Amino acid sequence: MGPKIWISVDMEGMGGLVDRTQFIPDEPAYTRARAQMIAEMRTVVEAVWDAGAGRVVVNDSHDGQLNLAYDSLVGLPSRTELISGMGKRFAMAEGMRGMDLALLVGYHGRSGTSHAIMDHTDSKDVWSVSVNDIDVGEFGLNAYLAGHYGMPVGLAAGDAALTHEVEALLPDTLCVVTKTAVGRRAARVIHPAQVRDELWEAARRAVLHFADGLGPRPLPVTTPIILRVSFMTTEGADAAMLYPGSARVDGRSVAVRCNDMEHAYLASRTLFLMGTGFPLY
């Protein structure tokens, strides 16, 4: 049987999309933007089956995680699995464990990155996150968790800023650049058809490399792990101090010592939930 491929699909890094009105389901622009998300997901799924995948699991990783509804699978090989909906323990990383190769599509730069479409980490209320003093965003957290499971990240797709983040952690991971931001909500976009062509090629190559024993190694992390989360508000950090074993690093920041990356990942999820939703004034 071919390798088990796990595909996490976020939205802010999809080709052509630049503005928050396109990423929020209640907004009128969302419906058309969602079509691009579905098209890129389908391209990657078709490519990995074509390259000989033995199992394909897609995890909807954006917002309420209902963007890729069951109907978006119509016409794809019927063995394609979709994890859809909210309340998943591992959120963006749900279903990762036990798979062989991770592909991260539609990803975006971490909070505080300039010239990155909709840069953020989890939500607007998270200022920064680090794992053993290395700054990470959603890409980094998921790449480290994949590493914990012994799983390489074969492909990362998003804007040019995301690519820089990938290269810093995993220089051998294949990247597809979908657009180059000229501000947080504006970019020079690459034609969506060109993006899909490049995704097809890169996803196939990632699977073929993996099957041949080539390609990137899993991202290592030394344990124990010091996870630090800084919030937009000091009130967020106050709330996050309810996490058992947490230490206050500074006004905005809380640190937690974790046994391994799975622990750190779940701690980050908990701290994000606790420390967000407070007004700036």
Ramachandran assignment for 60, one of left (phi > 0), alpha (psi -120 to 50 degrees), beta (any other): beta
209 belongs to the catalytic site: no
* Sequence-separated (6 or more) residues with CB below 8 Å from residue 38: 67, 68, 72
Distance CA 116, CA 67 (A): 22
User: Taking the complex as a whole, how short is the minimal distance between the CB of residue 131 and Zn ion, in angstroms?
Assistant: 20
CB–CB of 13/37 below 8 Å?
no
Distance CA 83, CA 116 (A): 27
The residue whose Cβ lies closest to Zn ion is 62
**Quick one: 100 or 122, whose CB is closer to Zn ion?**
122
Tokens of 239: 């709330």
Residues 43-62 touching Zn ion, rule: CB under 5 A, are: 62
**Quick one: 10 or 119, whose CB is closer to Zn ion?**
10
CB–CB of 6/98 below 8 Å?
no
Distance CA 7, CA 152 (A): 12
CA distances from 85 to 179, 239, 271 (A): 28, 27, 21
**Quick one: 65 or 246, whose CB is closer to Zn ion?**
65
**Quick one: 64 or 77, whose CB is closer to Zn ion?**
64
User: Taking the complex as a whole, how short is the minimal distance between the CB of residue 108 and Zn ion, in angstroms?
Assistant: 7
Binding-site string for Zn ion from residue 61 to residue 80, where x marks contact by CB under 5 A and - marks none: -x------------------
- How many residues interact with Zn ion (rule CB under 5 A)? 4
User: Taking the complex as a whole, how short is the minimal distance between the CB of residue 12 and Zn ion, in angstroms?
Assistant: 5
Residues 5-24 touching Zn ion, rule: CB under 5 A, are: 10-12
User: Taking the complex as a whole, how short is the minimal distance between the CB of residue 222 and Zn ion, in angstroms?
Assistant: 29
Q: Which stretch in 3-11, 176-184, 227-235, 257-265 sits in contact with Zn ion by CB under 5 A?
A: 3-11
**Quick one: 12 or 46, whose CB is closer to Zn ion?**
12
User: Taking the complex as a whole, how short is the minimal distance between the CB of residue 73 and Zn ion, in angstroms?
Assistant: 20
Tokens of 247: 């230490």
Integer-rounded Cα Rg, in Å, for the chain is 18
Of 55, 167, 169, 146, which is closest to residue 93 (Cα–Cα)? 146
Q: Under DSSP, is residue 204 helix (H, G, I), strand (E, B) or coil?
A: helix
Q: Under DSSP, is residue 56 helix (H, G, I), strand (E, B) or coil?
A: strand
Distance CA 254, CA 128 (A): 11
Q: Which stretch in 2-10, 51-59, 233-241, 244-252 sits in contact with Zn ion by CB under 5 A?
A: 2-10
Binding-site string for Zn ion from residue 93 to residue 122, where x marks contact by CB under 5 A and - marks none: ------------------------------
The one catalytic residue in 120, 148, 191, 263 is 120
User: Taking the complex as a whole, how short is the minimal distance between the CB of residue 11 and Zn ion, in angstroms?
Assistant: 5
**Quick one: 12 or 159, whose CB is closer to Zn ion?**
12
In the complex, the residues that contact Zn ion under the rule CB under 5 A are 10-12, 62
Q: Which residues are catalytic?
A: 120
